Structure 1
Amino acid sequence: MSIESLTAQLRHFAQDRDWEQFHTPKNLAMALSGEAGELLALFQWLRDEQVSEWFEDPANRTAVEHEMADVFGYLLRLADVLDIDLESSLRAKIGINAQKYPVELARGNALKYTALAAMRPADS
Protein backbone atom coordinates (compact mmCIF):
# COMPACT_ATOMS: atom_id res chain seq x y z
CA MET A 1 0.00 0.00 0.00
CA SER A 2 1.40 3.41 -0.94
CA ILE A 3 1.73 6.47 1.26
CA GLU A 4 -0.91 8.14 -0.91
CA SER A 5 -3.43 5.34 -0.39
CA LEU A 6 -2.74 5.19 3.36
CA THR A 7 -3.19 8.95 3.58
CA ALA A 8 -6.48 8.73 1.68
CA GLN A 9 -7.67 5.91 3.93
CA LEU A 10 -6.87 7.94 7.06
CA ARG A 11 -8.51 11.04 5.56
CA HIS A 12 -11.72 9.09 4.85
CA PHE A 13 -11.59 7.52 8.31
CA ALA A 14 -11.54 11.02 9.85
CA GLN A 15 -14.19 12.37 7.45
CA ASP A 16 -16.56 9.47 8.15
CA ARG A 17 -16.41 10.29 11.86
CA ASP A 18 -16.53 14.08 11.45
CA TRP A 19 -13.12 14.28 13.13
CA GLU A 20 -11.57 16.72 10.68
CA GLN A 21 -12.71 19.50 13.02
CA PHE A 22 -10.32 18.08 15.62
CA HIS A 23 -7.46 17.30 13.23
CA THR A 24 -5.81 20.69 13.37
CA PRO A 25 -2.04 20.86 12.92
CA LYS A 26 -1.56 21.61 16.63
CA ASN A 27 -3.78 18.74 17.76
CA LEU A 28 -2.21 16.28 15.33
CA ALA A 29 1.30 17.31 16.39
CA MET A 30 0.32 16.83 20.03
CA ALA A 31 -1.22 13.42 19.28
CA LEU A 32 1.90 12.44 17.34
CA SER A 33 4.07 13.40 20.30
CA GLY A 34 1.82 11.49 22.69
CA GLU A 35 1.98 8.35 20.57
CA ALA A 36 5.76 8.66 20.28
CA GLY A 37 5.82 8.86 24.08
CA GLU A 38 3.75 5.69 24.31
CA LEU A 39 6.22 3.94 22.01
CA LEU A 40 9.11 5.18 24.12
CA ALA A 41 7.40 4.01 27.31
CA LEU A 42 7.45 0.42 26.03
CA PHE A 43 11.26 0.49 26.09
CA GLN A 44 11.63 2.57 29.22
CA TRP A 45 13.91 1.02 31.82
CA LEU A 46 15.07 -1.80 29.56
CA ARG A 47 18.81 -2.07 29.23
CA ASP A 48 20.04 -2.19 25.63
CA GLU A 49 21.00 -5.84 26.01
CA GLN A 50 17.46 -6.71 27.19
CA VAL A 51 15.59 -5.30 24.20
CA SER A 52 16.12 -8.21 21.79
CA GLU A 53 14.84 -10.82 24.22
CA TRP A 54 11.96 -8.58 25.32
CA PHE A 55 10.97 -8.02 21.69
CA GLU A 56 10.80 -11.78 21.02
CA ASP A 57 7.64 -11.92 23.14
CA PRO A 58 4.72 -11.69 20.66
CA ALA A 59 2.73 -9.41 22.98
CA ASN A 60 5.60 -6.95 23.21
CA ARG A 61 6.17 -7.05 19.46
CA THR A 62 2.46 -6.38 18.85
CA ALA A 63 2.49 -3.47 21.30
CA VAL A 64 5.47 -1.92 19.48
CA GLU A 65 3.82 -2.46 16.09
CA HIS A 66 0.62 -0.76 17.27
CA GLU A 67 2.41 2.24 18.73
CA MET A 68 4.56 2.62 15.61
CA ALA A 69 1.40 2.48 13.49
CA ASP A 70 -0.17 5.20 15.64
CA VAL A 71 2.91 7.41 15.20
CA PHE A 72 2.94 6.80 11.45
CA GLY A 73 -0.79 7.43 11.16
CA TYR A 74 -0.65 10.76 12.96
CA LEU A 75 2.39 11.78 10.92
CA LEU A 76 0.50 10.98 7.71
CA ARG A 77 -2.57 12.90 8.91
CA LEU A 78 -0.45 15.92 9.85
CA ALA A 79 1.28 15.87 6.47
CA ASP A 80 -2.11 15.61 4.75
CA VAL A 81 -3.62 18.51 6.68
CA LEU A 82 -0.53 20.67 6.01
CA ASP A 83 -0.29 19.50 2.37
CA ILE A 84 3.29 18.25 2.80
CA ASP A 85 4.68 15.59 0.49
CA LEU A 86 6.51 13.38 2.99
CA GLU A 87 8.33 11.39 0.32
CA SER A 88 9.92 14.42 -1.31
CA SER A 89 10.53 16.04 2.09
CA LEU A 90 12.38 12.94 3.28
CA ARG A 91 14.43 12.74 0.09
CA ALA A 92 15.42 16.39 0.52
CA LYS A 93 16.28 15.86 4.18
CA ILE A 94 18.43 12.83 3.35
CA GLY A 95 20.36 15.08 0.97
CA ILE A 96 20.78 17.75 3.65
CA ASN A 97 21.96 15.13 6.15
CA ALA A 98 24.41 13.71 3.62
CA GLN A 99 26.02 17.15 3.47
CA LYS A 100 26.01 17.53 7.27
CA TYR A 101 27.31 14.01 7.85
CA PRO A 102 29.84 13.16 5.12
CA VAL A 103 30.77 9.49 5.12
CA GLU A 104 34.48 10.13 5.56
CA LEU A 105 33.83 12.04 8.81
CA ALA A 106 30.68 10.41 10.18
CA ARG A 107 31.35 6.72 9.66
CA GLY A 108 31.39 4.83 12.94
CA ASN A 109 30.75 7.70 15.33
CA ALA A 110 27.77 9.52 16.76
CA LEU A 111 29.12 13.04 16.74
CA LYS A 112 26.67 15.81 15.91
CA TYR A 113 27.24 17.56 12.60
CA THR A 114 28.51 20.68 14.38
CA ALA A 115 31.36 18.64 15.85
CA LEU A 116 32.02 17.02 12.48
CA ALA A 117 32.23 20.45 10.86
CA ALA A 118 35.16 21.26 13.13
CA MET A 119 36.95 18.15 11.79
CA ARG A 120 36.66 19.19 8.13
CA PRO A 121 39.84 20.24 6.38
CA ALA A 122 40.12 24.02 6.03
CA ASP A 123 39.85 23.93 2.21
CA SER A 124 36.41 22.22 2.07
Structure 2
Amino acid sequence: MDIIISNSIDKPIYVQIKDQLKTMIISGALKEGDALPSMRLLAKELRISVITTKRAYEELEREGFIETVGGKGTFVASKNLDFIREEQQRLIEAHLQEAATSAKAIGVSLKELIDIVAMLYKEE
Protein backbone atom coordinates (compact mmCIF):
# COMPACT_ATOMS: atom_id res chain seq x y z
CA MET A 1 0.00 0.00 0.00
CA ASP A 2 1.48 3.31 -1.09
CA ILE A 3 0.93 5.70 1.79
CA ILE A 4 3.42 8.51 2.12
CA ILE A 5 3.89 10.18 5.47
CA SER A 6 5.46 13.61 5.66
CA ASN A 7 6.84 15.15 8.83
CA SER A 8 7.32 18.48 7.08
CA ILE A 9 3.62 19.39 6.91
CA ASP A 10 1.33 20.50 9.73
CA LYS A 11 -1.20 17.73 9.15
CA PRO A 12 -1.19 14.99 11.85
CA ILE A 13 0.00 11.57 10.65
CA TYR A 14 -3.35 9.87 11.27
CA VAL A 15 -5.04 12.51 9.09
CA GLN A 16 -2.48 11.95 6.33
CA ILE A 17 -3.23 8.20 6.42
CA LYS A 18 -6.99 8.77 6.53
CA ASP A 19 -6.94 11.27 3.66
CA GLN A 20 -4.79 9.05 1.43
CA LEU A 21 -6.93 5.97 2.06
CA LYS A 22 -10.09 8.00 1.47
CA THR A 23 -8.67 9.26 -1.84
CA MET A 24 -7.81 5.70 -2.90
CA ILE A 25 -11.36 4.56 -2.10
CA ILE A 26 -13.07 7.49 -3.83
CA SER A 27 -10.87 7.15 -6.93
CA GLY A 28 -11.52 3.43 -7.18
CA ALA A 29 -7.90 2.41 -6.55
CA LEU A 30 -9.31 0.52 -3.56
CA LYS A 31 -12.55 -1.22 -4.39
CA GLU A 32 -15.47 -2.36 -2.30
CA GLY A 33 -14.48 -5.47 -0.33
CA ASP A 34 -10.72 -4.98 -0.73
CA ALA A 35 -8.83 -5.93 2.41
CA LEU A 36 -6.74 -3.30 4.14
CA PRO A 37 -3.57 -4.17 6.02
CA SER A 38 -4.04 -4.77 9.73
CA MET A 39 -3.41 -1.78 11.97
CA ARG A 40 -0.25 -3.45 13.28
CA LEU A 41 1.09 -4.27 9.82
CA LEU A 42 0.41 -0.77 8.50
CA ALA A 43 2.04 0.77 11.58
CA LYS A 44 5.08 -1.45 11.07
CA GLU A 45 5.33 -0.59 7.34
CA LEU A 46 5.05 3.14 8.04
CA ARG A 47 7.22 2.95 11.19
CA ILE A 48 4.61 4.66 13.33
CA SER A 49 2.56 3.83 16.40
CA VAL A 50 -0.33 1.38 16.18
CA ILE A 51 -2.37 4.01 18.03
CA THR A 52 -1.94 6.32 15.03
CA THR A 53 -3.17 3.75 12.51
CA LYS A 54 -6.01 2.81 14.87
CA ARG A 55 -7.18 6.42 14.96
CA ALA A 56 -7.07 6.71 11.15
CA TYR A 57 -9.04 3.47 10.75
CA GLU A 58 -11.58 4.51 13.40
CA GLU A 59 -12.27 7.79 11.61
CA LEU A 60 -12.58 6.07 8.22
CA GLU A 61 -15.00 3.58 9.74
CA ARG A 62 -17.02 6.35 11.39
CA GLU A 63 -17.25 8.10 8.00
CA GLY A 64 -18.42 4.87 6.34
CA PHE A 65 -15.40 4.23 4.12
CA ILE A 66 -14.21 1.00 5.78
CA GLU A 67 -15.67 -1.72 7.96
CA THR A 68 -14.05 -4.11 10.39
CA VAL A 69 -15.23 -7.71 10.53
CA GLY A 70 -14.26 -9.40 13.78
CA GLY A 71 -11.69 -12.13 13.23
CA LYS A 72 -11.40 -11.39 9.51
CA GLY A 73 -9.96 -7.89 9.17
CA THR A 74 -10.73 -4.48 7.81
CA PHE A 75 -12.25 -3.98 4.37
CA VAL A 76 -13.35 -1.19 2.06
CA ALA A 77 -17.04 -0.72 2.83
CA SER A 78 -19.76 -0.98 0.27
CA LYS A 79 -20.15 2.63 -0.61
CA ASN A 80 -22.79 4.92 -1.83
CA LEU A 81 -20.89 6.94 -4.44
CA ASP A 82 -23.57 9.63 -4.49
CA PHE A 83 -23.21 10.10 -0.73
CA ILE A 84 -19.41 10.27 -0.95
CA ARG A 85 -19.56 12.76 -3.80
CA GLU A 86 -22.08 14.90 -1.90
CA GLU A 87 -19.83 14.87 1.18
CA GLN A 88 -16.83 15.94 -0.89
CA GLN A 89 -18.84 18.72 -2.54
CA ARG A 90 -19.90 19.95 0.88
CA LEU A 91 -16.23 20.20 1.91
CA ILE A 92 -15.34 22.02 -1.32
CA GLU A 93 -18.18 24.49 -0.75
CA ALA A 94 -16.92 25.18 2.78
CA HIS A 95 -13.41 25.88 1.46
CA LEU A 96 -14.74 28.09 -1.31
CA GLN A 97 -16.92 30.00 1.18
CA GLU A 98 -13.82 30.69 3.24
CA ALA A 99 -11.93 31.81 0.11
CA ALA A 100 -14.82 34.07 -0.96
CA THR A 101 -15.02 35.66 2.49
CA SER A 102 -11.27 36.30 2.50
CA ALA A 103 -11.39 37.69 -1.04
CA LYS A 104 -14.22 40.11 -0.17
CA ALA A 105 -12.33 41.26 2.91
CA ILE A 106 -9.38 42.47 0.82
CA GLY A 107 -11.38 43.74 -2.15
CA VAL A 108 -10.79 40.94 -4.66
CA SER A 109 -13.56 41.02 -7.28
CA LEU A 110 -15.66 37.99 -8.20
CA LYS A 111 -14.01 37.89 -11.63
CA GLU A 112 -10.53 37.94 -10.06
CA LEU A 113 -11.52 35.13 -7.68
CA ILE A 114 -12.95 33.05 -10.54
CA ASP A 115 -9.75 33.65 -12.53
CA ILE A 116 -7.67 32.45 -9.57
CA VAL A 117 -9.77 29.30 -9.15
CA ALA A 118 -9.62 28.62 -12.92
CA MET A 119 -5.85 29.01 -12.91
CA LEU A 120 -5.45 26.68 -9.91
CA TYR A 121 -7.82 24.13 -11.43
CA LYS A 122 -5.83 24.04 -14.69
CA GLU A 123 -2.48 23.62 -12.89
CA GLU A 124 -3.44 20.19 -11.65
TM-score (norm 2): 0.31
Structure number with the bigger relative contact order (C-alpha 8 A, sep ≥ 6) is 1
What is the TM-score normalised by the length of structure 1? 0.31
**The structure with more radius of gyration:** 1
Q: Give the structure with the higher percent helix.
A: 1
Higher share in strand: 2
